Structure 1
């Protein structure tokens, strides 16, 4: 017997497979479905689990008559609404005489007669001890006075090997390859961001994309010595990866559409276009392809395309998009780069850079890392991004984090290859953007989060100097220096800034960082001042994090794992781990790009997951895993020393064995109630109970069509069916035993999802104060930020939220945000204009002022000091 989903995928059914004929026959399904088939030894009965009004019950079926009846009414909830690949309910069995079914329910083993009678408990007790690995929560310096850039993007060695061109903090820089200080490439008062640089073959010109949220993107060129750029594209657009033809007469580029983080104006069919280098309108070559590039000839263009079976192919066409040839393909390949002489092709797989010959003609050669049809050489040791060639194809380059590496491409097969272990460091150390003035907030109720009772101060004062809290206490106890600006917040409540411990969300589009990321700003406007994103594109999230530190964009503080260390074989995402050195290489790759945490996800074998933990701890990094709704994996993640468990552990009740075990570790818990396993979560619950399109802060910071599409039509289930309630209830048992439990909004709905987390904790039995702790002091401890964040105390960062109503009386008041302070700068929540501490003004969002050519980044002035 086996079980599978029925034809419409809605309910599970039990089938019988005939060993003699190979035929499959349906045994039972019906309302409530059927799972966990367990036949009796005498072959007369089938025990199984069925749902009645969404609750799990134990049934038996008489196989001769087909009659079915319920024999036990109080099972634990089955896991049909999770990824329960090992089964949706614990195994059952029969007594040898086929008279009783033996099963698990309510944390006990039980037996129930088939022919009627009460169930009896099978008494047992296990005294057990386990070796538990210690988990680390390294302390993070949240806001140092200076920082060193790590996310250096699109590094490009000049054709003659004398200069290195790269992007950092939204601008392009040139640096002598022999050493020296970098200098800005362009001279312009324009505040646009610059990206995707590339050299002409003769090394005299550079093409790049200039981006301004109001004016959109333009392909521009500038001389190799720098200076004022010249615009090539006659119309604005969403452009990327401009590259010169070998003769320098044409530039090919990618073009896509906006409407997400960026404007929906000038949308084009996604594909590859060409434009005369002297200027003109982009002309479509082919749809659905990416990464245009030339080899030696100007009449043939190479591109990449994702096939229906998820392979990346390297193809070429003529300049009309015709006469297509396929040159190479790879199941797990994420990039192809053709040498200018057409002799070699580099590819990226398992985050590493490889090189192999490029055959003439149209043979499709597998991009194999070993034992392929053509020899391939692994170039990088620890990651290879932004692969490119110089010297006409003589040398191949790649970088990881801020370091650029190089190798000889023409002797690599004949002379043998010794892995390159050193390169050119392109990082820069810069001062972080910090205010220098003082401000006092007076008259509010202050929930300091000091101590178990929240340290509430009625009619208090918070004095801020620079980016930190200088004093906090009752109004009369805080000495405010003469001349300090004061903000009267009488009648309001101040709480620490919210820390979203599991905060996915877009930080760029195709690598481009918008000047105003409305998603990030919606989070900030609703009080989230720090995010930890446990899965994002490294080249986007760490670029945004550095721009936030430098004061170039307005956003919460951004911390991330970068890409996950993913064990499933997925193109562009697979992180293969065969030994500890592999795990260490992946951890160090992410650390070099800006990560201080790593995500341990879906490595198929336990020792592989243990290697990730050991490697992260060796690098003094936080390690956060997902168990993929598998209870046994979650328990092993706790035992093996992971810093947290992300997403709720499946199972409606945590029994004493789990509580005793977990509470003796230092593994904390981020249950992400918004996307609970086991049933509908907090997202559908609260979405169905709010008119999000009427929320004053969401409507101020979210595209109207996006907000309406996500919330206007909603589904609803009976109150008792929502899994976030029991997930919160069980998490409270852990919190009461000393485990730190954190909010994790999962990027479900920008701005409001963090509040849904807090509200659902209260729905599950937490007090409002306890829910606020899960949004402040608990994640600060979990993430190693509690020296700087999580409570309002002297010396800590001035990250706080001013609320119009008291959340201790009603947790639903947390989204009534009047003002938010981030690092000592005070912003009005509705406008995100800076008040008192400076004069930074938010520019119109793309849907508000898409025609406004000045809709770019504002300059900030605070107390007379430029930042």
Structure 2
């Protein structure tokens, strides 16, 4: 005699809560009907508060109901949420996870293990067709992984970004953006060595095509010029800090001249290091406040990437950490002061890990660590959480479907054993991840972590 549907629901719910699933525990559960998470504490990221004892109904990968009552009957799976906290899946706004196939093999599962259900990848070392196939396989459920947004990279001669499109003149900048848009890149990320003329041409083309435009502010461009050109998302704080110096225009002109000479990356890296103490001494709070006001008025996003300040980088300029990260305690302190000030002024901050094989950053865990750094810099836990949930959704123009535990939103959610608003480190206490209608309990996540550790170990060996 087969058990009733009611008893089946109870059995399935008990198995999931205890860390087991029917059949193979390491496989995600893919229910064929509605799922109810009962009596859970929902973290309202928009209000910065916890709503207790909620019933969350998920149908077909979407959140159908959030409230005190759930519709009677129909659920094929019930998850006991008592004493647990439900948050929207986290987004990493700046990752190099897809730099190579081994990197992707190591990264994608690790992101899910840590509750990261979306990644904005800014590496282009592989052909876009290969990257698109990875996205397709993940979306189809053929391999585990977060949602992926791909950014094309544009740089200048002497680049240390593998696979980046190169431009030197204004016409080349426009042409490269047109080419990348036709290829299907979701947005354009600029890099440090892009000449000013090429940058302005690229910005014009991106605006005409309504294509996302951001990344590093090139060394030959001031912050004000970049904002006026439509630079929507600023990666790293080094050029923001330079924008707080009254000598910014002079310093940028000198760097632009270096770009026309031999070995521009190496020469410019040395030049930057020699200038940093003077830039720090020039720090002008009033000028910084005006810059913050401009960022707010234009609706610009900033990805601080504080982890670059702590990364141990190999010799040479060929990593984000070595190029943009602070090499001394004074610059580290100023970067954190900048984060606190930008947050206080209302600048839209995004959390990004900068994870990649060269940085040896932990995929997924690197984002959690970045959120912890943002809290250490002065953000309250609820506002730090926004930088990896609702704010990325706004950047992507998908705030009506991502970034909140709310009806009509994607059911990309994470069940935690403790409240992240009490302590941001509680984001490490992942119990269940739901993404694309697949439910990964603790046993399935542990299996994913073990499987991902194999290519990760190989990748670390190759990087050394």
TM over 0.5: yes
1:656 aligns with 2:296: no
Kindly provide the CA deviation profile for residues 149-198 of structure 1, in whole angstroms up to 9, marking residues without a partner as x. xxxxxxxxxxxxxxxxxxxxxxxxxxxxxxxxxxxxxxxxxxxxxxxxxx
Structure 1's 593 and 764: CA in aligned 2 closer, same or farther, altered over 3 A? same
Partner of 1:588: 178
Partner of 1:696: none
What SS does the corresponding residue of 1:755 show, helix, strand or coil? helix
Partner of 1:560: 150
Structure 1's 501 and 846: CA in aligned 2 closer, same or farther, altered over 3 A? closer
- Could you tell me how far 1:541 is from its partner in structure 2? 2.6
Does structure 2 retain, via aligned residues, the 8 Å contact 1:579–1:611? yes
Structure 1's 614 and 481: CA in aligned 2 closer, same or farther, altered over 3 A? farther
Select 1:469's aligned residue among 53, 57, 63.
63
Select 1:437's aligned residue among 33, 50, 65.
33
Structure 1's 736 and 446: CA in aligned 2 closer, same or farther, altered over 3 A? same
- Could you tell me how far 1:815 is from its partner in structure 2? 1.0
Residue correspondences, number: 360
Distance in 2, matches of 1:825 and 1:569, equals 44
Select 1:746's aligned residue among 329, 334, 354.
354
1:528 aligns with 2:161: no
Partner of 2:338: 730
Report which structure shows greater RCO (CA 8 Å, sep ≥6).
Answer: 2
Distance in 2, matches of 1:550 and 1:661, equals 42
Does structure 1 retain, via aligned residues, the 8 Å contact 2:170–2:200? no
Partner of 2:236: 647
Deviation larger for 587-596 or 612-621: 587-596
- Could you tell me how far 1:725 is from its partner in structure 2? 5.5
Does structure 2 retain, via aligned residues, the 8 Å contact 1:528–1:556? yes
- Could you tell me how far 1:722 is from its partner in structure 2? 7.5
**Structure 1 residues 14-413: aligned runs within 5 Å:** none
Distance in 2, matches of 1:768 and 1:542, equals 35
Kindly provide the CA deviation profile for residues 16-69 of structure 1, in whole angstroms up to 9, marking residues without a partner as x. xxxxxxxxxxxxxxxxxxxxxxxxxxxxxxxxxxxxxxxxxxxxxxxxxxxxxx
RMSD: 3.0
**Structure 1 residues 718-867: aligned runs within 5 Å:** 721=329, 726-747=334-355, 748-832=361-445, 845=451
Distance in 2, matches of 1:561 and 1:521, equals 20
Does structure 2 retain, via aligned residues, the 8 Å contact 1:444–1:490? yes
Structure 1's 526 and 499: CA in aligned 2 closer, same or farther, altered over 3 A? same
Distance in 2, matches of 1:847 and 1:666, equals 39
Select 1:636's aligned residue among 225, 233, 247.
225
TM-score normalised by the chain length of structure 1:
0.39
Select 2:187's aligned residue among 592, 597, 602.
597
Distance in 2, matches of 1:765 and 1:537, equals 35
Distance in 1, matches of 2:65 and 2:408, equals 8
Does structure 2 retain, via aligned residues, the 8 Å contact 1:732–1:766? yes
1:491 aligns with 2:83: yes
- Could you tell me how far 1:847 is from its partner in structure 2? 6.7
Partner of 2:7: none
What SS does the corresponding residue of 1:832 show, helix, strand or coil? helix
Moved over 6 A (4+): 846-849
Structure 1's 438 and 754: CA in aligned 2 closer, same or farther, altered over 3 A? same
What SS does the corresponding residue of 2:432 show, helix, strand or coil? strand
Partner of 2:71: 479
Select 1:460's aligned residue among 23, 40, 54.
54
Distance in 2, matches of 1:596 and 1:632, equals 24
Does structure 2 retain, via aligned residues, the 8 Å contact 1:446–1:457? yes
Structure (1 or 2) with the larger CA radius of gyration = 1
1:579 aligns with 2:173: no
Partner of 1:666: 299
Deviation larger for 598-607 or 642-651: 598-607
Distance in 2, matches of 1:781 and 1:483, equals 32
Which structure has greater strand proportion?
1
Distance in 2, matches of 1:550 and 1:435, equals 16
1:501 aligns with 2:109: no
Distance in 1, matches of 2:417 and 2:121, equals 29
Does structure 2 retain, via aligned residues, the 8 Å contact 1:798–1:821? yes
Does structure 2 retain, via aligned residues, the 8 Å contact 1:740–1:782? no
Which structure has greater helix proportion?
2
- Could you tell me how far 1:500 is from its partner in structure 2? 0.6
- Could you tell me how far 1:666 is from its partner in structure 2? 1.9
Kindly provide the CA deviation profile for residues 764-821 of structure 1, in whole angstroms up to 9, marking residues without a partner as x. 1111101101111112112222122111111110111111111111111111111111
What SS does the corresponding residue of 1:802 show, helix, strand or coil? strand
Does structure 2 retain, via aligned residues, the 8 Å contact 1:526–1:829? no
Distance in 1, matches of 2:84 and 2:294, equals 42
Partner of 1:80: none
- Could you tell me how far 1:740 is from its partner in structure 2? 1.4
TM-score normalised by the chain length of structure 2:
0.70
Distance in 2, matches of 1:545 and 1:743, equals 22
Distance in 2, matches of 1:761 and 1:844, equals 29
Partner of 2:125: 537
Distance in 1, matches of 2:452 and 2:388, equals 31
- Could you tell me how far 1:485 is from its partner in structure 2? 1.5
Structure 1's 752 and 820: CA in aligned 2 closer, same or farther, altered over 3 A? same
Any unmatched runs of 5+ in structure 1? 1-433, 685-716, 834-840, 850-867
Distance in 2, matches of 1:844 and 1:773, equals 30
Select 1:626's aligned residue among 213, 216, 223.
216
What SS does the corresponding residue of 2:349 show, helix, strand or coil? coil
Any unmatched runs of 5+ in structure 2? 1-29, 243-279, 313-325, 356-360, 456-464
Distance in 1, matches of 2:214 and 2:308, equals 17
Kindly provide the CA deviation profile for residues 110-153 of structure 1, in whole angstroms up to 9, marking residues without a partner as x. xxxxxxxxxxxxxxxxxxxxxxxxxxxxxxxxxxxxxxxxxxxx
Does structure 2 retain, via aligned residues, the 8 Å contact 1:531–1:556? yes
Does structure 2 retain, via aligned residues, the 8 Å contact 1:568–1:604? yes
- Could you tell me how far 1:731 is from its partner in structure 2? 2.6
- Could you tell me how far 1:844 is from its partner in structure 2? 6.9
What SS does the corresponding residue of 1:500 show, helix, strand or coil? strand
What SS does the corresponding residue of 2:354 show, helix, strand or coil? coil
Distance in 2, matches of 1:480 and 1:724, equals 55
Distance in 1, matches of 2:225 and 2:63, equals 41
